[in-house]
Amino acid sequence: MKKYFADIDLTNFWSLSLLSRLKYNEKYLSEEIIYSIENEVGFKLPDSYIELMKSLNGGTPINTCFPTNGETSYSSTHIEINGIFGIGREAPYSICGEFGNNFFIKNLGYPNIGICICDCISDGHDIVMLDYSRNGKNNEPEVVHIDQEVNYKKTFLAKNFKEFIKGLVNESIYDTSDEDRRRDLFKVEHGSFSCYLSELCNSFNRLPNIETIIRNAAKEVVNQKGYFALHEDELSYLLYDIQFWIYTNNMMVYSIDQFLDNYKDIMTLNDDGEFTTGGYAPDFVKEWINSRCEQGIILKTENYYDFSAKYKLLLAEKMMCYDN
């Protein structure tokens, strides 16, 4: 019987997209799983959180925005989440999953004040946490927004999880699509490259005008999506390919992990250039490189990885379409 969300129709609360289920959805919630997760993170989960997870154990709500009283690096009016972490460790974006609480605190430096429960659309640059620092690890936590871009600034959102869920609103309230498109078009057309990307371009002598090619391909991404981000689509794959080619032209790739470790510094998380997506989803990059290896496009020759000679010719033809 619902106690905390009796006035919410939970059958219409969740978005049931396949991507949401693959990223967030955990198996049926049991008392054993709850105890195990609480023991691992060291905090008692709110009863309201457990109640919501019994309707669907992790996923993306239909309403993904929450109003803020102060400005964050995302907006002066609100934050926007990707999804709510399930209670478990099997789904990548669950509390104890691969990109869950431990990932954000240990790998990305977020404060150890509680439990990360929502990732945001910045792909790691801000999150929503249950904050136990005021009331203690066994009591009701507040809900806060942590902004990595502003020295991990903490912004109060709600006095408890129930109020946070009830305060979520639809993104249509904050329609900034025209502004976002204009901003990102200016960024990809005129923004400075990072020192690392400039170095890779300067050493790439296979095609003339490589900077123009990259900017024009990025411009088409913005025209198609309304913003600059790379996902699992043909144009994103072209820009993944370009980054891999200019990287391998400059240095040997002895392992896939080596490239993935350096990928973020080319045009995603660099701090010294304006031309950037501002974040990235590691799963999309891994899926691209795995598919290229399975297709025989990326080959391991001797001790290093590289595009096949045939694909380099094909890729050059694709890239020349953006040299104008």
Identify which of 90, 94, 85, 88 has the alpha carbon closest to the alpha carbon of residue 143: 85
Say whether pLDDT at 216 is over 80.
Answer: yes
Over pLDDT 90: what percentage of the chain? 74
Strand-pair category, 304-307 with 126-131 = unpaired
Q: Is 61 exposed, middle or buried (0-12, 13-18, 19+ CB in 10 A)?
A: buried
Which residues contact residue 150 at a Cβ distance below 8 angstroms, ignoring those fewer than 6 apart? 72, 73
- 115: tokens are 């439990």
Q: Is the distance from CB of 118 to CB of 85 less than 8 angstroms? A: yes
Q: What is the mean pLDDT of residues 275-297?
A: 90
Go through the chain and tell me how many residues it has. 324
What are the φ and ψ backbone dihedral angles of 234, each rounded to 5 degrees? -60, -45
pLDDT band at 1 (very low <50, low <70, confident <90, very high): low
Distance CA 138, CA 159 (A): 15
Distance CA 134, CA 4 (A): 22
pLDDT band at 174 (very low <50, low <70, confident <90, very high): confident
Identify which of 104, 107, 140, 97 has the alpha carbon closest to the alpha carbon of residue 120: 104
pTM of the model: 0.59
Compare 122 and 295 and report the one with higher pLDDT. Answer: 295
Looking at residue 157, what is its pLDDT? Answer: 96
Query: pLDDT by residue (tens digit) across 256-283?
Result: 899 999 998 899 877 778 899 988 888 8
Which residues contact residue 172 at a Cβ distance below 8 angstroms, ignoring those fewer than 6 apart? none
Query: Which region holds residue 58: left if phi is over 0, alpha if psi is between -120 and 50, else beta?
Result: left
* Domains of the chain (ranges, CATH numbers): 10-174 (3.40.1580.10), 177-320 (no CATH)
Q: How many CB atoms lie within 10 A of CB 303?
A: 9
pLDDT band at 58 (very low <50, low <70, confident <90, very high): very high
Query: pLDDT by residue (tens digit) across 62-106?
Result: 999 999 988 888 888 899 999 999 999 999 999 999 999 999 999
Over pLDDT 70: what percentage of the chain? 99
Compare 3 and 84 and report the one with higher pLDDT. Answer: 84
Identify which of 185, 164, 197, 3 has the alpha carbon closest to the alpha carbon of residue 84: 164
